[in-house]
Chain A
């Protein structure tokens, strides 16, 4: 089973700052999904990246998939308190199961 490593584990920043969180693996990803999870709720899918070098934007969020498909990053511009949450990357290792990383807990302070 592929191990997904996310960094940093915790990140606390001020409103308006930019940040980047990372998801890495020693093996090649077939594809990668990013989720956000808020307390007391289930994960919510943000984006799926499939092609090496792919960049996807979702408002202030930019997702990048490494050329070799072994790493991915999520960059947030001008973070807002509403961005606070647990950011999870996950790989679909078969037609059925997602393998999740442990997540980056982001806190954006007003």
Chain B
């Protein structure tokens, strides 16, 4: 069964550095998402992306964050200047259609900012 893949599985970076988290959504999916989960807390929505533009973003997704679909397969999340509080699991997700269509999550990238 096709799945969403994320790389790297773990990323350690120093505060202030830029990081790029990579995702390959399921190939025939059109809607793409990033969520994050700080250790011990709930899964939180960051951003949704459709037709090469952001559909919706949360209050967490400030100017330090950006997303891009540089080619037909990859979907990236960039954090320009990481802060300690950006440490979390970052999950990419995709689905074929919107609203009530099954959402498929990747296994996440664990980002640790030191």
Contacts and interface: CB of A to CB of B under 8 A. Distances in A.
Report whether over half of chain A's contact residues are helix, strand or loop; otherwise say mixed: loop
Interface in A53-96: 88, 90, 92, 94-96
Contacts of A48: 100, 102
Contacts, number: 57
A46 to B, nearest CB: 10
A43 B100 CA distance: 16
Interface stretch (B14-22, B43-51, B62-70, B71-79): B43-51
Contacts of A33: 103
B3 to A, nearest CB: 9
Q: Size class of A's contact patch? A: 20 to 34
A110 interface: no
A41, A43, A45 — most chain B CB neighbours (10 Å)? A43
A101 B41 CA distance: 9
A92 B99 contact: yes
Contact of B55 (A42, A50, A88, A96): A96
The 6 closest A-B pairs by CB, nearest first: A42-B105, A96-B48, A96-B56, A97-B45, A100-B43, A102-B42
